[in-house]
Amino acid sequence: MEQGGQVDKDLIKLRTELALAKESEISEKKTIANLETKLGSSESEVSILQNEIDELKLKENEQLRMIQDRENK
């Protein structure tokens, strides 16, 4: 009968560990989903900022060209 009691304890322990592992998995999946969302948002912001930088560089180059043209006259 002692072995049966030990088997029951082991079974309860395994079920508890499985339940905890499932909870942990759910929590980690939520964390991953949140991080993926934040990453997507950050990538979008980076793209917008890069476009703004590119536009400013173009304007700067145009202004420099205008200044050089005036100086050459």
Helix, strand, coil % over all residues of the chain, rounded to 5: 95, 0, 5
The alpha-carbon radius of gyration of the chain (Å, integer) is 31
pLDDT score of 42 = 98
Tens place of pLDDT per residue across the chain (73 aa): 578 788 999 999 999 999 999 999 999 999 999 999 999 999 999 999 999 999 999 999 999 999 999 998 7
